[in-house]
């Protein structure tokens, strides 16, 4: 077996070759660019962590409700809520998205409220809005878990 040696391929030699170029650059500019890059990297890591927490929270919710009777319309809407539903959830929006009547939408919503999965926000009547409960609706026989931090955005 023959050993190939390449002294010019060693990292420290390459750094030495490039050192001339780096020395010619203003160190303040390099630091500013490095700071920008590190800020970008930090923001990317935070966004990635937030996305991962949302995915894990959603997976935990569905695992917890594996035996809870939830029809396809309700599954569709719950997944939309977990994935970042735009605006406020109202009976009329539920009906439009699921292509059902507002009466059916209201029955679906009331069923999920009864199961502790949804809750009504401030206001009522025709302006009633709904959201996922804070504890992400664990079934009555489920172990007690802390869901408050799941899916919450971390600040930058």
Of 19, 46, 22, which is closest to residue 34 (Cα–Cα)?
22
Task: Using DSSP, state whether 131 is helix, strand or coil.
Answer: strand
- pLDDT 10s digits, 29-51: 778 888 899 999 999 999 999 99
Is the Cα torsion angle 43, 49, 51, 57 positive or negative in sign?
negative
Q: What is the mean pLDDT of the chain?
A: 80
Gap between the Cα atoms of 47 and 86, Å rounded: 19
Can you give the residue ranges of every domain in the chain?
A: 26-64, 70-140
CATH number of 70-140: 1.10.10.10
Query: For residue 28, what are its two tokens?
Result: 């303040």
Out of 14-18, 38-42, 100-104, 124-128, least confident range: 14-18
CA–CA dist 48, 46 (Å, integer): 5
pLDDT tens, position by position, 130-152: 999 876 544 444 444 444 444 44
pTM for the whole thing? 0.62
Nearest of 120, 133, 144, 137 to residue 70 by alpha carbon: 137
């Amino acid at each position: 077996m023959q050993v190939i040696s390449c002294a010019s391929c060693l990292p420290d030699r390459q750094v030495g070759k490039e050192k001339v170029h780096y020395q010619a650059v203003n160190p303040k500019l390099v630091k500013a660019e490095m700071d920008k890059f590190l800020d970008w990297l930090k923001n990317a890591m935070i966004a990635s962590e937030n996305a991962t927490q949302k995915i894990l929270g959603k997976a935990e919710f569905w695992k917890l409700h594996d035996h809870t009777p939830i029809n396809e319309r309700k599954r569709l809407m719950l997944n939309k809520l977990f994935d970042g539903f735009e605006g406020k959830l109202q009976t009329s929006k539920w009906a439009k998205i699921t292509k059902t009547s507002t009466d059916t939408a209201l029955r679906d919503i009331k069923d999920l409220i009864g199961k502790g999965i949804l809750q009504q926000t401030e206001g009522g009547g025709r302006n009633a809005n709904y959201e996922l409960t804070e504890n992400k609706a664990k079934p009555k026989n489920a172990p007690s878990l802390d869901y408050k931090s799941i899916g919450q955005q971390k600040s930058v």
